[in-house]
């Protein structure tokens, strides 16, 4: 029995081996990344903590305070944007370049 292999057969074998190797390598890398990012098993079964009513009231007070501060910040930013538009119009009226392209 004679076995005959030429250069193109060797190139095909190398190409198939490289494809199989790259697929296996991608699977190994994916599995490694999964192991690195998955949550630990120790922390999964944590019992729920009872909420103290005083602590809950304090949290709601903090949330209300944050909402008031956010409203103040939004009003401040709206006023600044309005002032900036007026300043641009004044600069344009004086003949200065306002930085806008026409």
Listed by start position, the domains of the chain span 7-39, 57-102
CB-based burial of residue 67 (10 Å sphere; 0-12 exposed, 13-18 middle, 19+ buried)? exposed
Q: What's the Cα-to-Cα distance from 81 to each of 30, 67, 100, 102, rounded to whole Å?
A: 48, 21, 16, 20
Residue in 75, 76, 102, 100 with CA at minimum distance from that of residue 87: 100
* pLDDT the model gives residue 87: 66
Q: What pLDDT score was predicted for residue 78?
A: 84
- Confidence (pLDDT) at 76: 87
Q: What angle do CA 75, 86, 97 make, to 5 degrees?
A: 135
Q: How many helices (H) and strands (E) does the chain have?
A: 2, 0
pLDDT of residue 30: 97
pLDDT-flagged residues of the chain (< 70): 43-46, 86-102
pLDDT of 28 reads: 97
């Amino acid at each position: 029995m004679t076995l005959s292999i030429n250069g193109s057969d060797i190139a095909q074998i190398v190409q198939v081996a490289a494809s199989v190797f790259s697929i296996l390598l991608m699977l190994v890398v994916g599995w490694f990344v999964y192991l690195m990012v998955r949550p630990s098993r120790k922390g999964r079964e944590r019992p729920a903590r009872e909420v103290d009513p005083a602590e809950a009231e304090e949290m709601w007070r903090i949330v209300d305070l944050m909402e008031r501060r956010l409203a103040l910040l939004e009003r401040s930013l709206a006023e600044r944007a309005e002032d900036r538009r007026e300043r641009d119009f004044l600069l344009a009226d004086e003949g200065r370049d306002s930085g806008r392209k026409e």
